[in-house]
């Protein structure tokens, strides 16, 4: 199938498919006599794999690592679990950072009267250089 059909079949845009080829996540597609990319079932499975991994928040290097493990029939599940576990730790750290932001902004918003006066604790906090 051509790139448009592959995009329709996987939900991955043609631009993104070309990008995945460029960065090495997807092997370069075969070309037709007319020079169009031609994709096979295995390519679609790989695109689905990449898409699912990206939706779970894995970075491109992590996806690359997972793809290598997926293709390695002699892999140890220990290695796959290690990638996932590291990612969970990163996600938890991001959640903590986001929660801290929410807490700070909630506190500042409560301190702001939200009236017609120019005084605003939110802007005062943002201009501080000690944070």
| Beta-carbon count within 10 A of 107 CB | 12
Contact predicate 60/23, CB 8 Å:
yes
Examine the domain organization and report whether 35 and 80 are in the same domain.
no
pLDDT of residue 128: 87
Contact predicate 80/66, CB 8 Å:
yes
CA dihedral 113, 117, 118, 123 (to 10 degrees): 0
Examine the domain organization and report whether 3 and 50 are in the same domain.
yes
Asked, for residue 50, whether it belongs to a domain, the answer is yes
pLDDT of residue 1: 93
Number of domains in the chain: 2
pLDDT of residue 52: 97
Mean pLDDT throughout 55-68? 98
Tens of pLDDT, residues 64-115: 999 999 999 999 999 999 999 999 999 999 999 999 999 999 999 999 998 9
pTM to 2 decimal places: 0.82
Q: How many whole angstroms separate alpha carbon 106 and alpha carbon 91?
A: 22
pLDDT of residue 131: 54
């Amino acid at each position: 199938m051509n790139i448009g059909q592959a995009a329709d079949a996987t939900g991955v845009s043609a631009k993104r498919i070309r990008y995945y080829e460029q960065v090495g996540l997807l092997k370069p597609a075969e070309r037709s006599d007319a020079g169009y990319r031609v994709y096979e079932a295995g390519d679609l499975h790989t695109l689905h794999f990449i898409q699912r991994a990206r939706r779970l928040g894995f970075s491109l290097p992590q996806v690359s690592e997972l793809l290598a493990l997926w293709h390695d029939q002699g892999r140890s599940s220990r290695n796959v679990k290690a990638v996932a576990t590291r990612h969970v730790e990163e996600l938890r750290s991001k959640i903590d950072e986001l929660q801290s932001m929410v807490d700070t902004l909630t506190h500042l918003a409560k301190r702001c009267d939200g009236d017609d006066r120019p005084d605003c604790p939110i802007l005062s906090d943002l201009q501080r250089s000690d944070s």
